[in-house]
Amino acid sequence: MKPLTECTIGCEGRIVKIKAKDPIKGRLFSLGLAKGSEIKILDHTLAKQTWEVESDGTKIALREEEAASVFMEPKGGCK
Amino acid sequence: MKCRNCDTDESGSRNGTGTEQKMKKIKVALAGQPNVGKSSIINSMTGARLHVGNFSGVTVEKKEIFIEKDGYEIEMVDLPGIYSLNAYTPEEQVAKKFLYNEDYDLIINVADANTLSRNLIFTFQLMDMQKKMILVVNMIDEVEKQGGKVDRDKLEELLGIPVILTSAKEHRGVDEIVDHVIEVYTSQKPKNKLFYDERIEEQIEKLVKMLHKSPHFKDPDEARFIAIRLLDRDEEVYKVIHDLPIFIELHEMLGQIYRELEMEFDEESTSDILSDERYAMAKALVLKALKKPPKKLTLTDRLDRLLIHPILGLPIFLFFMWLLFQITFEVGSVPMEWIDAAFTEISNTINAVLPAGAIQSVLADGIVPAVGSVIMFLPNILILFLGINLLEQTGYMARAAFLLDGFMKKFGLQGKAFIPLVSGFGCTVPAYMAARTLKNPKDRIITMLVLGFMSCSARLPVYVLLIGAFFPTSHAGNILFIIYISGAILGLIVAKILRMVLFKGEPEPFVMEMPPYRFPSMKALGVELWIKAKLFLKKAGTFIAGASMIIWFLSSYPHDSLLVQSYEAKIEAAIDEAAKMQLQSELAAKELENSYLGTIGKTIEPVFAPLGFDWRVSVATIAGLAAKEVVVSTLATLYAVGDADEKSNTLIERLRENISFKAAVALIVIIMIYSPCIAAMSTFWAEVPQWAWRGFYMVYPNVLAWLMAFGVYNLLGVLGY
């Protein structure tokens, strides 16, 4: 289990924990980021300040701080 | 947990209800998550009358359509996109308030077939309301094209509400919606029922019983909804029960229920428990009713690789912006000449047809040229608006926000603030409203305070006129781009200063959906442009015509007959034509100087004198506070008077003769920075209740504008211009 921000582009896995507090948690949820969702890291900006992930066909942009509060269990093959 | 299906027998409800009676009204609320294509559905409905207004008390655009069919008048209100009833942004609050408090007959919930399971979570929240409801699954074509399939019957069976599959783009299923609305409205089918886990249902039951003690919640459906919302930790609903006599008892019970459920489910909050329930339910439904298309690299994936590339992304973005301003200028200038010619023709006709006098003068010298000088810029404005709409509707705007978030954060703003800022290039009024997507009040007010520096399209005419007069044509597009960019940079710097001085603290979190790239529907774009053009022409025909009439009156009166007589005598006595003309324009200039407007201009001239403005430019600048287009029409009126020479009758040449290059640049700087128009200012007042900010907002842009213009004027002076 590790925060999204420690994963590399292309990494896939499943969300195991979301540490964010409401209302951010609720927002992440309504965008499809919930415990158990599949997730894939799509992109981040050069300075890794903004991240893009995909879950169930929805692409979501997050800032570093929010991305760090989402923990995933990466599937094999990801560093 | 299961969705219990209700009786789906539809045959009983189809009886031609009262075509001979007077029209029955059905009011429909159209709700759905953002980017599901609600507007496209509304735009593509056959036989609909569109009405654009505002939601009561707020400045969020409200689109309504009216359709008449089988003796019913159906009114559909397009609510702002809302992800969840646990509303987050102010726009979502508007939609939520409407759903909770307004009187309507049924809900149409629009969902995106591509992200069905996420959409269904909101559908479940809506179904909790126990209203009559229809689910519209839109963008079905996209799923099918990729080899997927949505099983409509299965969805209907599992949800217990009518489901329609649509593609607004291909006009599929859209017109069926109306038939279903009438059918659902007239049918007596029992309402939908959605059941949660037994342990949750048990607690809902308890709450419902408690609520029944209050005379406000005798309706079991409503009580159930309130109970569920309380478990979902809905603050709005909590506020409602707060004022009830049963509150103390209810509050105690709620606390206990929260604790029990949270223990039992091992979750932090009952709201999480409900979320998990809905999530599982949505997953189960999608598993049964949706054949997912095989996962392929989509066009969006491929485009994103390039467009939000860590290194290439930003230059590409800047190129798009540059291109937009080039096209605005280059393509827009073509029809401008035709419009100009047409209005000159109208003026000439008026001069020829009407007898000389005040009426001829007010029409031919006042209103027609003023309105014409403004309408001339309609092509530019429409192109710029089209461009911004395209960026928004294709989904690129979200990418730009993604790319710029890190950069914006440095200036104390967040990536999402980029959307109102870019809309500001179109019009400041909707941009102030777009700032509502920022939840944090500090972020919002900073964004709104610097929004005025993003030059709106109404300022475009002034720039185009001044650039045309004072810069070589070959550089026009670039100069325009520089003006816009410097406004944006100034905005960022001011934002940073505001953040450091007045608003300490971290900017709000940034979480945002990146919608797939879509080719926008031409009809929707057309409708938007048409609305924009209509509003602009209306403004030109009423407000600007009125303002120019006032300017004309102030510049034509009082009439000094002594002066006229003395000059007429001189003109009589003059020997050649040239001298006569010279005297005639001298007379006109003298008359103008002695007019009311001349007096006003002279009074305020000292304020603007350090910037090299004469009284005419000063008047035009002040008039620009009403609307920026008025600057152009005022200059047109003021410099057209006394124009006896047939050859130098274009405004541009008159400006070149009368204004120095550095004063022209100073004027551009003023226009760029000072207060926006009255409409924008009143929007700001409506959006920002604090008097301190309102006051600050009224003063600081004007002071800053003057100082910057003064600086630029003197700098150019030093450089030898």
* Per-residue pLDDT at B12: 39
Judged by CB atoms closer than 8 Å, whether chains meet at B403 and A52 is answered as no
For residue B610, the tally of other CB atoms under 10 A from its CB is 13
- Contact yes or no for A52 and B516 at CB 8 A: no
pLDDT of residue B9: 38
Question: How many angstroms separate the CA atoms of B175 and B46, rounded?
Answer: 7
Domain-embedded: residue A53 = yes
Q: Would the CA dihedral through B478, B483, B484, B490 be positive or negative?
A: positive
* Per-residue confidence (pLDDT) for residue B273, from 0 to 100: 92
| Measured distance between the N- and C-terminal CA atoms of chain B, rounded to whole angstroms | 79
Tens digit of pLDDT for each residue in B300-316? 888 888 898 888 888 99
Q: What is the mean pLDDT of chain B?
A: 84
Q: What's the token pair of residue B340?
A: 């100009």
Average pLDDT rounded to a whole number, residues B681-696: 84
In eight-state DSSP terms, residue B6 is -
Which helix (H) or strand (E) segment is B629 a member of? helix B629-640
- Residue B594: closest CA among B622, B561, B633: B561
Choose among A76, A6, A1: nearest CA to A41.
Answer: A6
Task: Output the CA angle B157-B162-B165, nearest 5 degrees.
Answer: 100
Distant-in-sequence, close-in-space partners of B604: CB < 8 Å, separation ≥ 6: B615, B618, B619, B622
- Predicted confidence at residue B708, as pLDDT, reads 95
Range of A68's domain? 2-74
Each residue's pLDDT tens digit, B273-332: 999 999 999 999 999 999 887 777 788 888 888 898 888 888 998 888 888 877 876 787
Beta bridge partners of residue B112, listed in sequence order: B138
d(CA B518, CA B209): 49
Residues of A with CB under 8 A from a CB of B: 22-32, 34-36, 42-47, 49-50, 52, 56-63, 65-66
Count of beta carbons in the 10 Å neighbourhood of residue B50: 15
CA dist., res. B111 & res. B152, Å (int): 13
Note the ipTM here: 0.92
Closest C-alpha to B411, from B332, B294, B472, B499 = B499
- pLDDT at position A79, please? 59
- B398 contact residues in A (CB cutoff 8 A): 61
Residue range B613-623: mean pLDDT, rounded:
88
Partner-chain contact A65 B115, CB within 8 Å? no
What is the rounded distance in angstroms from the CA atom of residue B466 to the CA atom of residue B463? 5
| Cα Rg, chain A, nearest whole Å | 11
Does A9 reside within a domain? yes
- The predicted-structure confidence for B621-670, as pLDDT tens digits, reads as follows 988 887 888 888 888 877 764 444 444 457 788 888 889 999 999 999 99
Q: What is the pLDDT of residues A18-47, one digit of tens each?
A: 888 878 888 899 898 988 889 999 988 888
Q: Flag whether A36 is in a domain.
A: yes
Mean pLDDT of B144-167: 92
Would you call B409 helix, strand, or coil by DSSP? Answer: helix
Percent of chain B topping pLDDT 70: 93
Judging contacts by C-beta atoms under 8 Å, the chain B residues touching residue A34 are 275-276, 279
- Measure the CA angle with vertex B304, ends B457 and B380; round to 5°: 15
Better-scored residue on pLDDT, B264 or B22: B264
Minimal Cβ distance to B510: which of A30, A34, A61: A61
pLDDT of residue B591: 79
B120 touches B111 (CB < 8 A): yes
**Residue B626: closest CA among B685, B539, B525, B696:** B539
How many Cβ atoms from other residues are within 10 Å of residue A8's Cβ? Answer: 10
Q: In this predicted model, what pLDDT tens digit does every residue of B510-548 receive, in sequence order?
A: 888 998 888 887 877 888 788 878 877 887 778 777 877
What the block records as the tokens of B235 is: 């603050």
Could you read off the pLDDT of B236-258 as tens digits, one per residue? Answer: 898 888 888 889 999 999 999 99
**Which of A22, A35, A62 shows the shortest C-beta gap to B510?**
A62
Spatial distance between the Cα atoms of B421 and B400, rounded to a whole number of angstroms: 12
- Rounded mean pLDDT, B427-445: 77
Task: Check CB contact under 8 Å for B514 and A60.
Answer: yes
Give this prediction's pTM: 0.75
- Residue from B87, B90, B40 nearest B63 by CA: B40
- Pairing of β B72-78 and β B24-32: parallel
B652 vs B658: CA distance, rounded Å: 10
Does residue A76 have a pLDDT over 80? no
Q: Which of B144-148, B572-576, B662-666 has the highest mean pLDDT?
A: B662-666
Amino acid at B483: I
Q: Is B307 exposed, middle or buried (0-12, 13-18, 19+ CB in 10 A)?
A: buried
Query: How high is the pLDDT of residue B77?
Result: 94
| d(CA A10, nearest CA chain B) in Å | 12
Q: DSSP secondary-structure letter at B667? A: H
Instruction: Give the Cβ contact number of residue B703 at 10 Å.
Output: 11
> How many domains does the structure of chain A reveal?
1
- Interface membership of B115 toward A (CB under 8 Å): yes
Report the distance separating Cα B141 and Cα B169, nearest Å.
8
B282 to chain A: closest CA residue:
A32
Encode pLDDT of B9-57 as tens digits.
333 343 444 444 578 999 999 999 988 988 889 888 888 888 877 776 5
For residue A62, give the H/E element and its range.
Answer: strand A58-63
Phi-psi region of B698 (alpha: psi -120 to 50; beta: other; left: phi over 0): alpha
Residue B69, phi then psi, degrees to nearest 5 = -155, 140
Identify any residues that bridge with B32 across adjacent strands, giving them in sequence order: B110
* Phi, psi angles (nearest 5°) of residue B286: -65, -35
**Tell me, which fold does domain B3-193 have in CATH?**
Rossmann fold (3.40.50)
Residue A15 lies in a domain: yes
CA angle B39, B45, B49 (to 5 degrees): 90
What is the three-state SS of B225-274? HHHHHHHCCCHHHHHHHHCCCCHHHHHHHHHHHHHHHHHHHCCCCHHHHH
Whether B440 and chain A come into contact, CB under 8 Å, resolves to no
Domain of A21: which CATH number? Answer: 2.30.30.90
Q: Looking at CA atoms only, how far is residue B221 from chain A in angstroms?
A: 25
| A79 domain-assigned | no
